[in-house]
Structure 1
Amino acid sequence: MSTTPVRKPIEIKISTVVAVAAILNDTSMPALQEAMAQLTGGAADYFDDEFAILDIGQLTQDHPPIDWPALIALFKSHRLTPVAVRNAPPALEAEIISHGLSLDVVAKPRMAARAEAQAAPAPAPAPVAAAPAAPPPVIQQPARGTMIIDTPVRAGQRVYAHGCDLIVTAAVNNGAELIADGSIHVYAPLRGRALAGASGDSDARIFAMSMEPELVSIAGYYRTFEDGLPKELAQAPGQVRLLGDRIEVIAMTSALHR
């Protein structure tokens, strides 16, 4: 007699979503309405209910105030749902969050090495009788890209290292979120959410000098810490890894002695 596997009513995994970037060069609602009408050509299905990140980095410092409710409504009328704001100055962060939007922080990866870099050829040595055969050339694989954040990641901010590892050298506060397709390294307290292996890399890991996270995730599997970490792991150097379908948090010293 076969038995049907019992499935949970709901299963939740951490995932990332693709969002379009809308770069604002103006804050005038009539100008923005006209621009969106021209962009879509009046087609109601030009966008397909996609998420949008509003990039305001191109606005001048003396730009008129942004009418956030009207701006959000404009994008939604074109089947775009604003979810975050990129390149927001600190003075606008609280206002942005109050309208239900998050803060998106994206930096360009810094490559530790470039495959195309080549050393200058060395001068040819003088002929030597019975010279030994030259060893085969050593082929070096290009290093994986790395995004480096040197400033604290505050509540409401979200940093996504697309296609690379993420290194943060400052504190990650409660309510902040780190996402990386590779591994995450925090050389400071990690108090927010950290999601490594976002594109499915189950070998990715999370390292922190002081483990105090709200949530950690690797390749979609996650673990929360409503009651805090065990005493021996809390506020101590540690790492997070995925074993099968289980998230494991271990002290850094334990890993070194294995």
Structure 2
Amino acid sequence: MSLPNYEPAGELKIGQVGIANLKIRTLDIAALAEEMRQRVSRAPKMFERAAVILDFGGLTQLPSAVQARELVEALRGAGALPVGLAYGSSENDALAVELGLPLLAKFRAQYERAGGEVDIAPPPAAKPAAAEKPQKAAPVAAPSAGEPGLMQVASVRSGQQLYAEQRDLTVVGTVGAGAEVIADGSIHIYGALRGRALAGAQGMENARIFCRDFHAELVAIAGTYMVADDFPRELIGRAVQIRLEKGKLDIAALD
């Protein structure tokens, strides 16, 4: 008798400016659609009609155009909106052309301004340095030692987005419901967190989130997220720290 498979068919991570990356691990269209339907039902404000990038990089073989179209329609029926494919091989490029979908990066290198809705704090100016031998670029942008973090003294109100590029973010006030704070480093919130907080936005897995009064809608570190329905009830309203531990978010009390 075969053992039940508890591994999810698709791993969903939250990317920049509300775009999610769905890495397909098992081409089980029914299972993928059901998982998405459950995500939408648990957090409709987050996932209903959410823009999703399909990433077939976790499969040993690309789906056919017919299978890919079936998956797109199934996800639409579950409440999500597939908007493109993640970059991959030349065959992946050809599949995108056949589907009439664009190729998009899994996660953009940095946040882009969209009608002024996203407040991007520029990174500190780099100090001039002597000429050195060329070095390979680091795969993940992370705050450099000694760089000051971005401090937000006023509260972040509903509908606002604040992004600290290549550094930590400190919010002295409250992050209101419907607001979103994002940092390439860690996030420190001295008031209540009632909206969304996304740390390690460019893949920094050792980033953390700290807050004094935990009532979040969603938290994420390096794309791995957790929504309000999944938070431990006993930690609501308490001071907590959130970190990524073995690929999963760990929320622990600080008081």
TM-score normalised per structure 1: 0.50
Aligned counterparts of 1:8 and 1:250: Cα–Cα separation in 2: 25
3-state SS of paired residue (1:226): helix
Q: 1:170 to 1:85 in 2, by over 3 A?
A: farther
CA contact (8 A) 2:121 2:165 kept: no
Aligned counterparts of 1:7 and 1:238: Cα–Cα separation in 2: 28
Q: 1:149 to 1:12 in 2, by over 3 A?
A: same
Determine which structure has the larger helix proportion and give its number: 2
Identity %: 38
Match of 1:105 in 2: 119
The partner residue of 2:228 within 225, 228, 241 is 225
Aligned counterparts of 1:145 and 1:16: Cα–Cα separation in 2: 23
Aligned counterparts of 2:179 and 2:207: Cα–Cα separation in 1: 20
The partner residue of 2:174 within 171, 175, 179 is 171
TM-score normalised per structure 2: 0.50
1:148-205 CA distance string (max 9 Å, x none): 1111111111111110000111110111111111000001000111110111111100
Match of 2:115 in 1: 85
Runs of 5+ unmatched residues, structure 2: 18-101, 105-111, 129-143
How far did residue 85 of structure 1 move?
Answer: 2.5
CA contact (8 A) 1:106 1:161 kept: yes
CA contact (8 A) 2:124 2:147 kept: no
Aligned counterparts of 1:210 and 1:7: Cα–Cα separation in 2: 33
CA contact (8 A) 1:109 1:146 kept: no
Q: Find the structure with the greater CA-based Rg.
A: 1
Aligned counterparts of 2:7 and 2:250: Cα–Cα separation in 1: 24
Aligned counterparts of 2:6 and 2:237: Cα–Cα separation in 1: 38
CA contact (8 A) 1:198 1:220 kept: yes
The partner residue of 1:152 within 144, 155, 158 is 155
Q: 1:212 to 1:166 in 2, by over 3 A?
A: same
Match of 1:191 in 2: 194
CA contact (8 A) 1:145 1:163 kept: no
Runs of 5+ unmatched residues, structure 1: 18-47, 51-81, 87-102, 117-140, 254-258
CA contact (8 A) 2:206 2:243 kept: yes
AA partner of residue 114 (structure 2)? A
How far did residue 250 of structure 1 move?
Answer: 0.6
Aligned counterparts of 2:145 and 2:227: Cα–Cα separation in 1: 35
